[in-house]
Structure 1
Amino acid sequence: MGANGSSYPHSCSPRIGGNTQAQQTFIGTSSYSQQGYGWESKLYSLEHGHERPADRKKKSLGLATLKRRFIKRRKSSRSADHARQMRELLSGWDVRDTNALVEEYEGTAALKELSFQASLARAEAPSLHRDLAALYQHKYCTDVDLIFQSTCFPAHRAILAARCPFFKTLLSSSPVYGAEVLMDIDTAGIDVRMFSALLHYLYTGEFGVGGAEDTRLQNVDVLVQLSEEFGTPNSLEADMKGLFDYMCYYDALLSFSSDSEMIESCNERGAVAAAPTGGSGASGAPETPEEDLRAHKAILSARSPFFRNLLQRRIRTGEEITERTLHTHTRIVLDESIIPRKYVQVILHCMYTDVVDLGLVLRGSPSACSLGEVQALVSGGRGASTRTEEAMELYHIALFLEFSMLAQGCEDIIIESLSLDSLVPILKWSSQPYGSKWVHRQAMHFLCEEFSQVVTSDVLYELSKEHLLSAIQSDYLQASEQDILKYVVKWGEQQLIKRMADREPNLLSGTAHSVNKRGVKRRDLDVEELKEILSPLLPFIRTEHILPPNSDVLSDALKRGLISTPPSDMLPTAEGGKSNAWLRQKNAGIYVRPRLFSPYVEEAKSVLDEMMVEQTDLVRLRLVRMSNVPDTLYMVNNAVPQCCHMINHQQMAGGSGTAPSVVANEIPVPPLSVVKDMIRRLHELRHTEQVQRAYALNCGEGATVSYELQLRVLREFGLADGATELLQNPSKFFPDERFGDESPILALRQVGRCRVNSSPAMDSMITELEGVAGFHPPLPPP
């Protein structure tokens, strides 16, 4: 039900699923089209008598179709207006200026793609295979010892029995906790290393990497003999799902309480269940109290550091020996105010399968949760929790348990539910310190992409100033500057009306004379207070790019004093002419990129194509576009690490004093091996064709491209965005290390085939003329 979207190489592929189609999706499916997020439900309710869904659909079909036609007509009309305005702007331009504008748009588009990939990046969540591999390596909570050729292999009874029929039969004859089982294997040629590789395969479903035993296990004859003796296991996912369903050989019980003192006492003393384990066998275990949930300590410790530390602490206190002696299960008492019982089945299911299934939530369970403020934040006082609210609450539980797979699954569920109705609650939640930064980035991307729809709905007035400010600062906001100015002023007027309503006496509140009832006329609004509300926002509206230039919206804002300085292209320059704020070369002041507004971009490309057909000879004369910056200034000294685009050589050469242990005064410096992996990943990204093109299209702004790459790498490795200095100047933190001598030059560029800031239309024209003119312009690196 999701869309395939985590396109960056380090994305995880966990899954969310369930028995019903309405409740399942896949973790890691976080991309979306520009048309919006989410989906349309195909389920129908039969609560209204015996009326069939098809009958009701026919009744509403005419009105719905008419409504869609009006919406489509209105959207196409608005898009046509924007295209007409851009065409009128370009009507007096020559082909060189039009091409320069298209080049600017293409550079911004390349940056947008890099920015989007960076926003999708997040650390890879450890999968079930990876956690079980670590479990086999570190031997947490083992309950059986396999003796093979005088070598002891601590293992987990439940995993071996679920994965292999041979071990299921063998271990059923030795049900005692901590039993030693002698292994007698008939297959010839199996030694200690090969037996260890076989166990590793049972835990992970994969043969170990490297080593002679791997080569032998890949031999067909050996595999056939092993399958005849041990049986052929199913996939790891299927066997672990069966282990979750039947809970064979379970050795832990999860209980719930609201008494914090009793919880601490029980977990410290290692309180145990009263039922003995001796009769568990292969078919399950004895009956347990209905309120307790069964689990395996091996899975709990493998998937969650919280449970691992809890169980390890009990081992250090000697409670494990007591349990082995009494043959009893370990009871773990959970605080229901932190981990509500209604979510535990979802948590366990994800631990065993990597699948988040909200259909397992016990919605009738009256759990008292300290995270109820999340529901209050997003529900607005409604009683029942929605799927999104449950995912938000479960996300916090996943962070508490340090269970990344569950946390990322909840993030993806939240994003799949993203729509105009849920946008503001999700933005509010994700903006909080306890919210998800990854969800916030996706929600802000949705706001920028769907801004034209947001501003024409009541959602606009629910946006906070911070979120609106972040949106209008973006180069990728999908709205014209005129609409941005118009609706930002409307938003400010609505905020002023709210202030006036809050200031009125309580006697008038709710009466016919209140502000909310009688309304407020525009002339009654205090312009000075309105300017104070809008003062953080208006500087980021690019008035120089408002179309048409004689816009009534702009004139009204100037008359009211909301904007004190008219656009620069309305003022004469020192040379007596007028500047052009759309072009970098003809701008009078500080240049600001025009936003990547799709109707403008498409129309500019269309106009350029028409010009180039009409003015082929003129294009031939103006093909050469040399860089304003000498080529030598692009070159980077070979001593500069390949991870940096620009770096301070004095800092590299300094090396005096002790290397700092934190980045940005709060982020611990990761180990050297991690930093080298990050730099290697950055080098790999920089040499991709997409990034090379972004450097070429943004000549002179390579630092911006590098910054997007650095953000992406930091997020893939789970570090905060503030740690960019770690990649910009790694020698500051590891002065004795060298991080590579290759300078960040576009190695993949082919001389004569790639050009700075070349548009598709211009490329096609160059291709046609090269055969005649033999023209190959030089290309400086960014």
Structure 2
Amino acid sequence: MGALNSSSLKNAGSEWIGPSSTRTCSPARHTRLSSLIASNSNRCFTGKLASLHWRRKCRQISREDKRAFRALISRWTNVELAALFTEMESAWAVREMVLLAEEARPSTSSLATDLLSAWQNEIVTDCFVIHKSVRYAAHSFVLRARCRYFCDFWDSLFVEPSADGNTVSVAFPHDNTSSEMFKAMLYYIYTGEYDKSLSEGDRQHLTTVLQRFRCVFFFFFFFFFEPCCKSTDCTSHLQLEAVRIKVGFDPPFIFHFFFSVDSILVMSAATRSGRGRNRDYRLKCSGAILAARSKYLRSLIEKRIACGQKLEIVINEHLFPRSYAHIILNAIYTDRLDFSKMLEGCQVSASSLTEVQAIASGQRHLAPLRHAIDIFHIAQFLSLPQLAHSCEDAIVAQISVETVSSLWNWAFEPGGSAFVRRHCTAFLRTEFSRICSSHVLFELEEDMLRDCLLSDYVQCAEVEILETVIRWGEHELVRRMEEREPNLIANTTHSISRKGIRRSELNDVELKNILANLLPLVRIDYILPPFHQASFSLNFHPM
């Protein structure tokens, strides 16, 4: 794909779009474009046009373009119009494939997949459940969080200390449950889904077993309730009642579940001298969940378990600010990115100066975008691919005419996102007419313009593209002239004033060198078709 590799120009003759001798026949043989669209053979195409209704608001076709296109096809035959529609449908199909390719990125695992992998691979397991003399390695936090039976009877069950002293063995007394059904129950506890290998009858039987042992897909309320239990006063009846109504469990179970966490995440504010101006921020969490979601945190937890140390993970606050702690932990526990979970006192006030300036200028507030970029880098550092994808989606949702240039520059840097970069280029292709008529055009990098013009789907006329490229080149030339000629007399920045420079004073050779990589991407043949009479009398050269 691309302007240089366009097959429509290479394989076409001199009459590829011009009128032919068959177009001089009787008007009775000619059909209108509307009748062809309404025909049964093109219902598929009309459906695709209907799905593009929202794009009409993005770019309105000018009256001159409509008039030129109407004059071009006014005397075409039905066969020629059908060929045009076939070409358009083919181009539409290719464009859909391009959009799918732009959406492609490495797949990530969900919370259920990570927990299942941690159970099957025995990652950071801290207990064994014995059923019919078979030991099943498991995580006590997950069992107690998603099965009321294990939570209520954990202390009363027969507990045997293991040989290493770090794990416990819990005897499951219900031998009337088959081994296959017991493993299916554990599968559901970890994933919240039925095992795909079960038959319909086994699923119905498993449902009865799950109801008997009160296994629920209940796991993440810990994080929602945890902020109000950071202080020593955890006996608020209103808070406990709110959680009880939300999750359907009694307060004793809630307290038992809260104090079952085994890890502490510490955001250290210490400087090089070892002293911090603020106290370290501590947050209780489950080491099993952290190890299941992050390879980096897993290595730290496994190293501390092997050394017999306390599961206290200390991260410098410059790498992991405390303001994002609740957002990131919420994403680890729920696979959802929620900026409302930001620590109190760190949110940007709605009445702040930045918000007022954004409202006055008609622009959107960029605080969520800044937070998404920061959390994206933290997710990459902690090896949290699912959270990184959620941040990329949040960043892409904030792409606008004002932010597309800065986001493309950020995505192109080391540690950036190729997914965001592709979406910035796609946005530039779609909104090229709006961008070329604004000051944002002069903020675009040459590589960004080149990536855009390489596509066959720039939503702009070739004449407008040529004018835009020349204006961008002239602005770049003036900028280079300003850098070369500083003012040696006054204390101003430059001796050249943009308003004082005339086009005749610009160096054509230097301008041609600046646009050397962009002008070949402009389809001059689309501006002057081969059958145009001017092409026989003029030898058009851009420079």
Relative to the length of structure 2, the TM-score reads 0.71
CA contact (8 A) 1:201 1:208 kept: yes
User: Secondary structure of the residue that 2:107 maps to in structure 1?
Assistant: coil
1:494 paired residue number = 475
Name the CA distance, whole Å, in 1 between partners of 2:313 and 2:307: 13
2:167 paired residue number = 178
CA contact (8 A) 2:265 2:285 kept: yes
CA contact (8 A) 2:487 2:495 kept: no
2:307 paired residue number = 319
1:644 paired residue number = none
Q: Deviations over 1:282-314 (max 9, x none)?
A: xxxxxxx87211110110011111111222233
Name the CA distance, whole Å, in 2 between partners of 1:358 and 1:425: 22
Letter in 2 for 1:136: W
CA contact (8 A) 2:108 2:386 kept: yes
Name the CA distance, whole Å, in 1 between partners of 2:474 and 2:142: 64
Match of 1:305 among 292, 295, 304: 295
How far has the Cα of 1:495 moved from its partner? 0.6
How far has the Cα of 1:421 moved from its partner? 0.8
Match of 1:427 among 408, 419, 429: 408
How far has the Cα of 1:144 moved from its partner? 2.5
1:120 aligns with 2:100: no
1:75/1:298 Cα in 2 relative to 1: closer, same or farther (>3 Å)?
Answer: closer
1:132 aligns with 2:115: yes
Name the CA distance, whole Å, in 1 between partners of 2:526 and 2:335: 49
1:150/1:196 Cα in 2 relative to 1: closer, same or farther (>3 Å)?
Answer: same
2:502 paired residue number = 521
How far has the Cα of 1:491 moved from its partner? 0.7
Q: Deviations over 1:39-86 (max 9, x none)?
A: xxxxxxxxxxxxxxxxxxxxxxxxxxxxxxxx98x975x522112122
User: Secondary structure of the residue that 1:219 maps to in structure 2?
Assistant: helix
1:336/1:311 Cα in 2 relative to 1: closer, same or farther (>3 Å)?
Answer: same
CA contact (8 A) 2:396 2:420 kept: yes
1:443 aligns with 2:424: yes
1:460 paired residue number = 441
1:91/1:150 Cα in 2 relative to 1: closer, same or farther (>3 Å)?
Answer: closer
1:195/1:386 Cα in 2 relative to 1: closer, same or farther (>3 Å)?
Answer: same
2:374 paired residue number = 393
Name the CA distance, whole Å, in 1 between partners of 2:460 and 2:295: 46
1:195/1:533 Cα in 2 relative to 1: closer, same or farther (>3 Å)?
Answer: same
Letter in 2 for 1:117: L
Aligned residues: 433
Name the CA distance, whole Å, in 1 between partners of 2:384 and 2:96: 30
1:255 aligns with 2:236: no
Name the CA distance, whole Å, in 2 between partners of 1:428 and 1:340: 24
Name the CA distance, whole Å, in 1 between partners of 2:266 and 2:311: 10
1:240 aligns with 2:220: yes
1:152 paired residue number = 135
User: Secondary structure of the residue that 1:459 maps to in structure 2?
Assistant: helix
2:456 paired residue number = 475
Moved more, 145-154 or 542-551: 542-551
Name the CA distance, whole Å, in 1 between partners of 2:500 and 2:414: 37
How far has the Cα of 1:96 moved from its partner? 5.3
Letter in 1 for 2:307: E
Name the CA distance, whole Å, in 2 between partners of 1:310 and 1:82: 63
How far has the Cα of 1:486 moved from its partner? 0.8
Q: Percent identity between the aligned chains?
A: 33
Name the CA distance, whole Å, in 1 between partners of 2:53 and 2:102: 15
Q: Deviations over 1:442-467 (max 9, x none)?
A: 11111101111110111111111111
How far has the Cα of 1:505 moved from its partner? 1.9
Name the CA distance, whole Å, in 1 between partners of 2:266 and 2:525: 65
CA contact (8 A) 1:85 1:547 kept: no
Q: Deviations over 1:97-140 (max 9, x none)?
A: 55544433332222111111111122332111111111211222
Within-5 A mapping of 1:178-257:
178-185=167-174, 189-210=176-197, 217-220=202-205, 223-224=207-208, 226-228=210-212, 230-233=213-216, 236=217, 238-242=218-222, 245-246=225-226, 247-257=258-268
Name the CA distance, whole Å, in 2 between partners of 1:358 and 1:300: 20
Within-5 A mapping of 1:375-414:
386-414=367-395
Name the CA distance, whole Å, in 2 between partners of 1:87 and 1:498: 42
1:106 aligns with 2:94: no
Name the CA distance, whole Å, in 2 between partners of 1:193 and 1:453: 62
1:359/1:202 Cα in 2 relative to 1: closer, same or farther (>3 Å)?
Answer: same
Q: Between the two structures, name the one with larger relative contact order (CA 8 Å, sep ≥ 6).
A: 1
CA contact (8 A) 2:189 2:215 kept: no
2:239 paired residue number = none
1:358 paired residue number = 339
How far has the Cα of 1:351 moved from its partner? 0.8
How far has the Cα of 1:92 moved from its partner? 7.0
CA contact (8 A) 2:128 2:137 kept: yes
Name the CA distance, whole Å, in 2 between partners of 1:347 and 1:544: 53
Q: Deviations over 1:127-177 (max 9, x none)?
A: 111111112112222223222222222222221111121111111447997
User: Secondary structure of the residue that 1:420 maps to in structure 2?
Assistant: coil
Please list every run of 5 or more consecutive structure 1 residues that lacks an aligned counterpart in the other structure. 1-31, 37-70, 264-288, 324-328, 367-383, 564-782
CA contact (8 A) 1:34 1:449 kept: no
User: Secondary structure of the residue that 1:253 maps to in structure 2?
Assistant: strand
User: Secondary structure of the residue that 2:403 maps to in structure 1?
Assistant: helix
User: Secondary structure of the residue that 2:109 maps to in structure 1?
Assistant: coil
1:75/1:245 Cα in 2 relative to 1: closer, same or farther (>3 Å)?
Answer: closer
Name the CA distance, whole Å, in 2 between partners of 1:261 and 1:204: 43
How far has the Cα of 1:93 moved from its partner? 6.0
Q: Deviations over 1:346-384 (max 9, x none)?
A: 111111100111222348569xxxxxxxxxxxxxxxxx9
User: Secondary structure of the residue that 1:104 maps to in structure 2?
Assistant: helix
Letter in 2 for 1:255: V
Match of 1:340 among 321, 334, 350: 321
How far has the Cα of 1:192 moved from its partner? 2.7
User: Secondary structure of the residue that 2:86 maps to in structure 1?
Assistant: helix
Within-5 A mapping of 1:33-52:
none
Within-5 A mapping of 1:644-723:
none
1:4 paired residue number = none
Please list every run of 5 or more consecutive structure 2 residues that lacks an aligned counterpart in the other structure. 1-50, 227-257, 348-364
1:389/1:472 Cα in 2 relative to 1: closer, same or farther (>3 Å)?
Answer: same
Name the CA distance, whole Å, in 2 between partners of 1:210 and 1:500: 71
CA contact (8 A) 2:435 2:441 kept: yes
Name the CA distance, whole Å, in 2 between partners of 1:509 and 1:117: 56
1:172/1:80 Cα in 2 relative to 1: closer, same or farther (>3 Å)?
Answer: farther
Within-5 A mapping of 1:263-282:
none
CA contact (8 A) 1:481 1:547 kept: no
Q: What root-mean-square deviation, in Å, do the aligned CA atoms of Structure 1 and Structure 2 show?
A: 3.6
User: Secondary structure of the residue that 2:182 maps to in structure 1?
Assistant: helix
How far has the Cα of 1:257 moved from its partner? 3.1
CA contact (8 A) 1:430 1:439 kept: yes
1:79 aligns with 2:90: no
How far has the Cα of 1:430 moved from its partner? 1.3
